[in-house]
Homo-oligomer: A and B are copies of this chain.
Amino acid sequence: MLQSFIFMAAGAAGKAVESAEAVEKSLTSHLFEIFILILATQFVGWLFQRFKQPAVIGELLAGAIVGPALLGWVAEGSMLEFISELGAIFLLFMVGLETRLDDILKVGKEAFIVAVVGAIVPFIGGYYFGLYVGFSQVSALFLGAALVATSVGITARVMQELDVLSRPYSRIILGAAVIDDIEGLIVLAIVSGIATTGSFETGSIIRLVLISFAFVGAAMAMVPFVKRVPLDKLPFQTPLGVSIAFGLAMATLASLIGLAPIVGAFMAGMVMAEMREEYELEEPIHAIESFLAPIFFAYMGVQLNLAALASREVLFAGGVVSLIAIVGKLFAVFGSLTQGIKNAIVVGIGMVPRGEVGLIVASIGLSAGAIDEKEFAIVIFMVVITTIVAPLSLRPVIAWADPGVLSPKE
């Protein structure tokens, strides 16, 4: 409404430029939306920081406030979706830059167990709960599938905010999130196959597994060699430019395979981590990320459809499913007990958010007719709860599990 008022005021400025305005209008309204998202995330994020809460929750809330659910100044649309995706890509590229492969491999066994246990338990829990409350078998499979993959963006952002990315539990979370995403892809392929053809092709699932692991393996294999690549001697303008191109290439490839683009961006960042100091990549990438990543979180809030959640049935089933989602991932704790129980709990909580990955699974189920609007709403509810609960609890849990790591002024 504010926006249309401004447009009216501007329209009054000169009828003669009306046609010029028509050309520029969609561009202007997108500029306006980005402006509003930045301003709102800056303000609500600040409020949350003042009360020692993660800014990222404030950014989510900021999006919900200016989005269709409340003020309606910012609408859903492919333009914002793409820019928010770029934000997630730069966030995980940045997190990758701060992560060395060696450090991940040191906790590789833990990460693997965390990923496997943390996928199986919620899947089974979701599936049987679905059957119990009367879902069809296929719907129950989709519900389970939506609970599998962690959406690591929000946890990564909180760990970045708290400056704990180099701690062992953070490494386990990041490593497990990569494996998790592959599991999510496989489960989705199986479940979609069952929904559309009643069965799944073992051959294509195996191909999928091989391609995913080949992608991750190829990225890992690059690591020992990149140190010897003289970025500033390549036929490109700047080391920063090549690095960004590499990050986008890996995100695109991941996306083509069916993995989350952010997994590709994270792998790319980890490859570049080997030379980040030599070419001063961190500061400029961080600057780009600090512009785009809040748009990603705010856009999550923009997409929030509160009306869809406002039925008692959805609230009840959604509450139970959220509990399954959270408790299921906490079983992952057993994978990282080598780090002590406290750190293992941090890992479990870090794996809780499902975010956009769960939503993608559910929307594929919806468009395939495998789940209905109500079942979709239950998944949305679970996504909202897990996305909010994890960052809210991470700070106090880390303060308890890893005393002294949080800087006093935080």
Total chain A interface residues with beta-carbon distance under 8 A: 87
A397 shortest CB reach to chain B, Å = 23
Contact of A287 among B13, B46, B249, B283 (CB under 8 A): B283
Taking A35-B252, A257-B13, A283-B287 as contacts, is the C-beta distance between A43 and B78 under 8 angstroms? no
Q: With the chains together, A106 CA to B348 CA distance in Å? A: 63
Answer whether residue A368 sits at the interface, using C-beta atoms and an 8 A cutoff: yes
A294 neighbours in B (Cβ, 8 Å):
241
B17 touches A363 (CB 8 A): no
A258 touches B20 (CB 8 A): yes
Contact string against B for A residues 1-28, beta-carbon threshold 8 Å, 1 for contact and 0 otherwise: 0000011011011111101110110111
B27 touches A188 (CB 8 A): no
| Stretch among A202-210, A307-315, A338-346, A371-379 lining the B interface | A202-210
> Which chain A residues in 22-46 approach chain B with CB under 8 Å?
23-24, 26-28, 30-32, 34-35, 38-39, 41-43, 45-46
Chain A binding site: helix, strand, loop or mixed by DSSP? helix
A27 touches B82 (CB 8 A): yes
A28 touches B82 (CB 8 A): no
B248 touches A17 (CB 8 A): no
B17 touches A188 (CB 8 A): yes
A16 touches B257 (CB 8 A): no
Answer whether residue A393 sits at the interface, using C-beta atoms and an 8 A cutoff: no
Answer whether residue A236 sits at the interface, using C-beta atoms and an 8 A cutoff: yes
> What are 12 contact pairs spanning A and B, CB under 8 A?
A12-B207, A13-B258, A16-B189, A17-B258, A23-B363, A30-B82, A38-B241, A49-B237, A240-B290, A284-B290, A287-B287, A287-B288
Beyond A46-B235, A46-B236, list 13 extra A-B contacts (CB 8 Å).
Answer: A14-B211, A15-B193, A16-B205, A19-B192, A19-B367, A26-B78, A27-B85, A31-B251, A31-B261, A35-B249, A42-B245, A238-B290, A283-B284
